Amino acid sequence: MTNLAYRAERTGLLLVDPYNDFLSDGGKLFPMIKAIADDVRLLDNLRSTVATARKADIQVFYVPHRRWQPGDYENWDHPNPTQRLVQQRHTFAKDTWGGEWHPDFVPQENDIIIKEHWAQSGFANTDLDFQLKQKGITHVIVVGLLANTCIESTSRFAMELGYHVTLVRDATAAFTQEMMRAAHELNGPTYAHEILTTTELIGALNIGTTV
C-alpha cells in the first residue's frame, strides 16, 4: 500500500446496490454470493467502511440498480444477459422486501441517492457524474456489488471521466473466486488508482489529509 490518505471534501464513497436481494439471508441473489461474502467478511467490512466514511465527513452516494417493475425489458431490441435474468427473477423488485435497502445500509439524511442504473455502470444514464461534480468530488471509493460487474463498470467509467478510483477488495463480492480474481488482479489494475483492503482504507481515511 502506498502512503496515502483522502481529503474529505474531495472524496465520495459510492455504495453500489446494497439491497436485501444481494445482502440479506432470503434474498434472491444472496445464496450466489454467500460463500465469498462470508470469506471476505463482506457485511462487516461494508459496515466499517460506511461508518468510517461518515465519521470522516466523506459524502456517501447510493448507486442503486434499477428496481424491477412489470414491463421492464419487454420489447427492448437487445437487453443484455443480466437484464434477461433480472426479467426472469424479478431481482430488486420495486415495493418488495428484496428491493429494499439492507437494514444496516439505510440512507441517512445527508446521503445522496443517485438515479437507478439500468445495466452495470452507475454513471450511464444517471446523474452520478453531475452529483459528484456539484460536491467537488475528485476521488471515489467504490464498494458494494458485484465486483466484476457493477463495481468494475462504475469504477472504470469513473476513471474515464477523470476521477481517482479506489477499489476495496474485501468490501465487495462476486459469484465465484475466478470473478473476484478477475476484478482485483486482472482488470482492476488497468483502471483503478488504488486497490486496498478495508483495513488499509480505514487507516487512510483516519489520517484525513491528502492523497
Is 92 domain-assigned?
Answer: yes
Domain, as residue range, for 30: 8-207
Instruction: Judge contact between 152 and 184, C-beta under 8 A.
Output: no
Instruction: Judge contact between 181 and 54, C-beta under 8 A.
Output: no
What is the band of 3 on the pLDDT scale with cuts at 50, 70, 90? low
What is the pLDDT at residue 56? Answer: 95
What is the band of 1 on the pLDDT scale with cuts at 50, 70, 90? very low
Q: What is the pLDDT of residues 122-136, one digit of tens each?
A: 999 999 999 999 999
What is the band of 5 on the pLDDT scale with cuts at 50, 70, 90? confident
Is 56 domain-assigned?
Answer: yes
Cα 52 to Cα 13, 115, 168, distances in angstroms: 10, 24, 14
Is 177 domain-assigned?
Answer: yes
Residue 141, SS3 per DSSP: strand
CATH label of the domain that carries residue 132:
3.40.50.850
pLDDT surpassing 80 at residue 4: no
How far apart CA 137 and CA 172 sit, in angstroms, is 22
Is 1 domain-assigned?
Answer: no
Domain count across the chain: 1
What value does the CA radius of gyration of the chain take, rounded to a whole number of Å?
Answer: 16
Is 3 domain-assigned?
Answer: no
Is 127 domain-assigned?
Answer: yes
What is the pLDDT at residue 209? Answer: 44
